[in-house]
Structure 1
């Protein structure tokens, strides 16, 4: 299988090369030249498979023989061996025909573990085979960083540098990153917001001359295709558990960078009968404004109680636009140029196509707290703020009550004690046993100004020989 850029000017790449490349040289994002599809009969035959077995069925066509079946299954098995629940992604019912998909059972208590445990093991396999060393650079609004560090900390051929916005992630999120003291892990607290971190990431991928000779950057953000690919699996897993493919399923997804919900879109394109995808946003609502009002314009970023969604530039939205514009790279390039000036507008055809599948909703902090409080009072089920946004968005936009609605629970509530306390809880939710001593652990991180040259100098000077 070959992978092409959404902007149409970069050469196509193989699977392994696209994993190591990240952002395309023309500034676009890589997507498969052709998406694998499955018949309803084939999907139905997967009922009863374990999560790991199902992951192999879905991921193997994207790899297309570049990794042997036995090696791929071993990578998958290793990636999910550290999850705390045997189901890997358990479902919990919260109302009639309404379900929470708990995606926080991994080692860092966030849905990012599904993709980044897999990506870490995948990179380890590819780099050992090629006898190659790389520099992993990532930007995080909270959860990606700790999941990426956990996935890569044991990889001898990787030096990893994670940028997070200084004082704009929760204490648990920060400690999960900065208390990993291995020689190949480096945390940078940037005096700025997530979009500043992400802009530095993209600029560094565009010009890698600051790196020591023989090194290249590899992305762990959701611009890396492997991230999206791994997340497709849990849509199939949830649907099969609830009667799919014989019946359609809907999903609500709290989203900032559009990667998680784009995986759901791909699942539908691959044959899963998805009826509705709900884009759930906080006050940083550029995606909601785009779908509801065709207003994809930048506004000042708001620091919220759901920091993993404090994003104004949703990178993976470009991958959806590529399909909405019939895979016309020149059209996408022009849209992205328009957006650089602050605003872009979708064509009538593209907007209609998006609205046929996607709904959207926005919640501010006060509304989010109300949802956490209400659900706990009614069901004694404690939501983190991101999941609360997803659940309320589902309830407000649901088109068909007869279709099961699955809300993706993206993080453990212990990661966001401030929101939980504001919702009326008299004590912070307890961290799982393996993380109980988190606040006693030593931290190590570097606070840097919003200066690309300073960040790149720090990275270059800390790459191991």
Structure 2
């Protein structure tokens, strides 16, 4: 297995190289040169594995340059009991049609931990093999940053420079990041929205000379290492929910996944799982009021919005109007040659019309989509709590809203809703929904919120961030 760039300007590279490099040198995103397939016999052979062992099997289909024994050791460390309580990803049934898949049981209470803890093991491993060190540059709308910093704090050979939008995260999200005082963690709050942070990261990654001189890497979902780890829980959840179905009927069970989506990384992993052969009926993409992705999947027209047009909502990790990982999906739809012409048109006009391809989004790839509002989120939090006693966060509520709407419109089978954060991280919204039934802050969160915070405010400027990295980035090799 090797990886190429969506934009065609990168020589094929192995998994460990794209893990360290993050963005392709031509500014594109790395994609596998082929999608591995998993037949029914292999899938059934995985049914009895625990989560770390399943992760080694799934990731191993992409990380073919890591020996199997080493990969098993890395996944065992990433998903160890001190980081994730067994079974790592629990399934909680709401009713006979809906199951909540708990992706947020890790150290920062968000689904990003499942991929980031793997990277926290795999990247030092890859760096040690090459004698290099890495300066990670990332952008976060809330959860990626804290997950990355907690995965890499104190790790040898790695420093983290994380950009976040000033005033656009929850109190808990800020505290999880800014309370860290490790020497290798740098928090930069940008005067802008998440898309501005993401644009700065892509601009710096696109400067090949600067990237090489300062050993810049990425852990946003543009890093395929994260995508590979996210594929795992689609297989895990599908296997668990079909445990009680007779083997002959499992492939026809009509299992759909509902995914809150902002940057398109989480649901792109589901797209790959489906292409690998997992019997996913529908991939339900849920947005909040920043509904660029919903518009694209309904109409085929992709038109990113400006920072002024990006709304502040109660599901802030999805306050995104330019989804980086969509580039990978469009590359799949169009193929390499047509993609490059289409992407050039998008960069020239700020708009891409794929309406002629739109019927394929559902017919061939299984995508359907919908939008949720603040009132919808409150109603979904209340409804799930009343049905099952479960508490969900507002992002998960977006997915519940869209799934419920589709079920009411006739979607068959079961829907697995990916719970992307713990409700405690968004206590104000949960309390607004449930009133006196909402749980208050835990002692752990009270202590977290009381800690001193360490953050540097910077302007919305590539040059300002570049200058900070130049002043604070360690030497580029461990030996130096």
TM range (shorter): over 0.9
Aligned to 2:20: 20
For the pair 1:443 / 2:449, whether they are aligned, the reply is no
| TM norm structure 2 | 0.92
For the pair 1:268 / 2:277, whether they are aligned, the reply is no
Aligned to 1:336: 343
Aligned to 2:110: 110
**C-alpha separation in 1, matches of 2:286 and 2:173:** 21
Matches within 5 A, 1:51-450: 51-64=51-64, 66-81=65-80, 82-207=82-207, 209-210=209-210, 214-243=213-242, 245-246=250-251, 247-299=253-305, 300-325=309-334, 327-328=335-336, 330-340=337-347, 341-348=349-356, 350-356=357-363, 357-398=366-407, 402-426=412-436, 429-430=439-440, 435-450=445-460
Unaligned runs of 5+ in 1: none
Give 3-state SS (helix, strand or coil) of 1:188's partner: strand
Q: How far did 1:84 drift?
A: 3.9
Give 3-state SS (helix, strand or coil) of 1:423's partner: helix
Contact 2:301 / 2:355 at 8 angstroms: preserved in 1? no
Indicate the RMSD between aligned Cα atoms, in angstroms: 1.8
Unaligned runs of 5+ in 2: 244-249, 476-480
Contact 1:210 / 1:457 at 8 angstroms: preserved in 2? no
**C-alpha separation in 1, matches of 2:460 and 2:213:** 27
Q: How far did 1:456 drift?
A: 1.1
Give 3-state SS (helix, strand or coil) of 2:368's partner: strand
Matches within 5 A, 1:18-57: 18-57=18-57
Give 3-state SS (helix, strand or coil) of 1:8's partner: coil
Moved over 6 A (4+): none
Contact 2:25 / 2:208 at 8 angstroms: preserved in 1? no
Aligned to 2:246: none
Q: How far did 1:347 drift?
A: 4.8
Matches within 5 A, 1:443-462: 443-462=453-472
Give 3-state SS (helix, strand or coil) of 1:63's partner: coil
Aligned to 2:478: none
User: Per-residue CA shift, 1:124-156, capped at 9, x if unaligned?
Assistant: 101112111111000000000000101111312
Q: How far did 1:9 drift?
A: 2.6
| TM norm structure 1 | 0.95
Q: How far did 1:166 drift?
A: 0.3
**C-alpha separation in 2, matches of 1:140 and 1:286:** 18
Judged with a 3 Å threshold, the aligned counterparts in structure 2 of structure 1 residues 59 and 78 are, in CA distance, closer, same or farther, namely: same
Count of residues in correspondence between the two structures: 460
